[in-house]
């Protein structure tokens, strides 16, 4: 059976759990990292020398790096993996954008507002991160005005990559600017049982 190591309140783990749920895979999720610790255990380091979650064991095939895992599970199962390279590249693009552009912008607001007690918050840093996130999200908004998914016409790897970030964005305890296409996309994602089960888990 597929084993997935990683705590459920990690966005990198959530995306792997989401695609596993969408694919209807049998899997075991072993809680690791964060409050569970275990990342320095020699047994885990032997699997993942990078010492982070998620990591999977698929019948002896070990893989870490969440986006690589999502691509592997999609390709292996022949779903969410368009054969046309130009179609697949759209999801790939938003997958890379999620980690390379959105995450650096969003990190400060997320950790500041969700994982830091109010008395320790750096308001200026949070505001700057929030504004930078909005700049990025307006780019996503423009895409979602034209196409229903972050992978083109169908759900795919771009959506899996961004789903956890979207959940965190919409859970921030602050007022957000109107981004109707993003809100529409998010409403469609939250209507999916697999999304609710894998992504909408407690924040801390
Ligand atoms: N690029 C890696 C990043 C993995 C990563 O940063 N994982 C975090 C959780 S989101 C982690 O293991 N943090 C240490 C911990 O959970 O204790 C990936 O996408 O898998």
Distance 169 CA to ligand 1 centre (A): 18
Question: pLDDT for 21-77, tens place per residue?
Answer: 999 999 999 999 999 999 999 999 999 999 999 999 999 999 999 999 999 999 999
Residues having CB closer than 6 A to ligand 1 are 10-12, 33-34, 39, 52-54, 65-67
What is the overall mean pLDDT for the chain?
97
Pairing type for strands 61-64 and 27-30 reads: unpaired
Q: What is the pLDDT of residue 64?
A: 98
The Cα 204–Cα 86 span in angstroms is 38
pLDDT by residue (tens digit) across 70-122? 999 999 999 999 999 999 999 999 999 999 999 999 999 999 999 899 999 99
> Which phi-psi region, left, alpha or beta, contains residue 24 (left: φ > 0; alpha: ψ -120 to 50)?
left
Domains of the chain: 2-77 (3.40.30.10), 85-192 (1.20.1050.10)
User: What is the dihedral sign for C-alpha 103, 107, 109, 115?
Assistant: positive
**DSSP strand pairing (2-5 vs 55-58):** antiparallel
Q: How far is the CA of 133 from the centre of ligand 1 (A)?
A: 20
* C-alpha closest to that of 176 among 142, 131, 125, 146: 131
Q: Cα(12) to centroid of ligand 1, in Å? A: 6
């Amino acid at each position: 059976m597929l084993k997935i190591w990683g705590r459920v309140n990690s966005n990198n783990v959530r995306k792997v759990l989401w695609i596993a749920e969408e694919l209807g895979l049998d899997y075991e999720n072993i809680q690791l990292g964060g409050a569970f610790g275990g990342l320095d255990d020699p047994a885990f380091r032997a699997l993942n020398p990078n010492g982070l979650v998620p990591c999977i064991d698929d019948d002896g095939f070990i893989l870490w790096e969440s986006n690589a895992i999502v691509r592997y599970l999609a390709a292996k199962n022949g779903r969410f993996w368009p054969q046309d390279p130009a179609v697949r590249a759209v999801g790939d693009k938003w997958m890379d954008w999620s980690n390379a552009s959105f995450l650096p912008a969003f990190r400060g607001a997320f950790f500041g507002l969700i994982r830091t007690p109010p008395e320790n918050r750096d308001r200026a840093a949070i505001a700057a991160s929030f504004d930078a996130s909005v700049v990025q999200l307006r780019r996503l908004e423009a895409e979602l005005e034209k196409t229903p998914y972050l992978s083109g016409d169908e759900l795919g790897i771009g959506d899996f990559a961004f789903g956890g970030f979207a959940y965190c964005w919409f859970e921030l305890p602050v007022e957000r600017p109107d981004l109707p296409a993003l809100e529409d996309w998010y409403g469609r994602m939250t209507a999916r049982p697999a999304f609710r089960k894998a992504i909408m888990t407690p924040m801390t």
